[in-house]
Structure 1
Amino acid sequence: MLTFVLLAAALTVAGAIAVAIPLLKSGAAAEAAAPAPWAALAATALLVIGSAVLYVTWSNWPWRSESAPADSPQSMVARLARELEHDPQNLEGWLMLGHSYIALQEYPLALRAYERADRLSDGKNAEALTGEAEVLALTDEGELNGRAGRLIERALALAPDSGKALFFGGAVAARRGDLPLARARFVKLLGMDPPPNVRPLIEQQINAIDAQLAGAAPVGGAGTSVASAKTPAAPAKAPGPPAEAPAAAPSAAEALVRVNVTLAPSLAAAAGSSPLFVFVRDPGHPGPPLAVKRLESRFPQTVSLAASDAMIPGRAFTSGQSVEVVARIARSGNPVGASGDPLGEVSYRVGRDELVSLVIDHVMP
């Protein structure tokens, strides 16, 4: 490769001389042109040095002995993608690639990988169908009402005991108002011994559905949680000492989001006994929240969210990440926002910010 650089430099010098000779000849005719030889030599040096530096910088030759760590997530995923180019019929490989791209939040690439797996299986692989639905829901939660929802129903028909399909299937059924089916799916999932960080979320969904089924009264009767049925929820009142929402004790190294939620006086009458949802989302990546809690509407209230509150296993906020924290009073009791729900939001830097004030001061349009 050194030979190549020297050869390139020699050719560059030859080209520069071809340009310089006319300048030198014209310089003999007039003294004003005397600086021309120096300009030609300067141009030659610049071209020689510049060509060598630019080639080293932009070429794909491995000039440095050290390289990026071969075991980094990005390099492993890239290696798997290259392997699949030579083995395009590897169904398990495409499924693994789709899962890996989701972990890297490369959603368009994940969707392509799962669609490839779906085609290879002739539409008969539940994991491929669920993967497609998951990517679509992570990109746009509204897809659960459309294509993602249909994919989940197909996956459940093929694999009725798929934990991930049951999780999304419960959400799909709840969104379309089929609460008994949503409850049945969440209860079945709860009996499959889900991970500890997912179990509380499933229990919250079941409790919310039970409250809606039991309190299907017209306005004001729905949305009461099991806890509030045992202990009547107090209406919104004047600010007092903030109450700490129950939270699993995080380890010292665990990322934590803490907000003090208050309600604007102008919206005090809108709270009632409706549940309060506090969730963390990534403003740069639409989709399900990174963490969520369902609480009673008591104000002020200090809420702590950790990785154990993640909505989807493996998709949680991390230290140093910029997120948005949203507090919403669900007047219908439904986790999905509806027009007229009071809410507030605040930006939060995980690991840097401590207790931040979050005011519920406007309503969803």
Structure 2
Amino acid sequence: MTTLWIFIALFVIVSLALIWVPHLRQKHMLKAEEAGVRKQTNLELFETRLAVLEKELADELLDQAEFDALKKELEISLLQDMKQGSEDESLSTEGKPKSIVWPSIMSVVVIALSAYFYSTLGAYADLDKAVPDNPHAGMDANQIMDQRIQMMEAQAKSEPENSQLQFSLGHAYISASRYPEAVKAFDRAMALVGTHAELLGPKATALYYQANQQMTPQVQSLVEQALELDPQDPSTLLLVGMDAFFTADYEKAIGAWQTILDSDRNDVDRSAIMNAIESAKMRLQGGMGEMPNDANHQQVKGTAKTVTVEVSLSDELKDKVSGTDILFIFARNTEGPKVPLAATKIAATALPTAVTLDDTTNMGGNVKLSDAKSVEIIAVLSKHGSVKPQSGDIQGKVDMVEVGGTTQLVLDTQVQ
């Protein structure tokens, strides 16, 4: 649209200049030329007559007194002619002005053509339209999150003493998997308001994910410190329950999550926690850690939204795999608690392979894969039979894939 405006403006300016500049210049030149010719003619006549008088004086046809009188009369006549010429020029200019009809008509035509071009090629009809209702139209979840974080970072620079903003920014960093930055944000918040369980819990969670979901001594220390300050802190208990769930300690997971529900806190997603407890109970009743097998979903494949994962092993780690290794694959919602929505396991000997996750491979409860818009996919090639990565295991991850889509996952990282 800007380019069109520039083109139309240049077209109008150049066209009007071509029309009016020659017209005005010609009018001025004609007036000057006419005045110059008139003056030159009068001067030439004066000089001719004066030459005749001087010759007659030299031939003694006139005496000096007659010569002086005639010369004076001639000079007076010249002055009168000059004055008369100026008056005639003024009368001629006023009585017969140069016509501006054609330049005016051409100017109107140029402006009309410009208006036609804009009405045909422009979008003037859209000028009064409101800004689109969805400012994130055309953006995926990662782009929306990045935009949100950039806005929060800009606000944090202008409000360095805003502890609540640092707290929110830390959680946003966790959602974007930017764990070191999340830790710094929670540290800045604690520097402003002091050490509180509601800040220690999220910091421990960020460090937990940064350590590839390992309960390191640093994470455990933060968990203990947070629970000492507030035994019912939801962020800390969510982390405790999640780690227990992944290590198949379902009783501990249920206990941690139930404590959150019993606290009557209003700032938690109670429905999600209840579903997580239900999932843990089903795993506990199903035999301590049994996960749905990939073959279980074949009877109803295609009846619900699915995510197909093409799993392969990096060339550098192929010699690290044995025939007894088990591959665990699970999907987690990119929003809300990081509880698996669907999971399956296959033998490592099947690699490379394509695995389909759907509602028949869910982890129990009311939360289903088909209810999510997008998920992250995590795969662990375990040598110990546990879904939680341990030393020597090989893992891979896809940060986001839309439910209903297909993605490729490469097992390329060996846990140290």
Task: Name the TM-score class by shorter chain.
Answer: 0.3 to 0.5
* TM-score, reference length from structure 2: 0.41
Higher Rg of the two aligned structures: 2
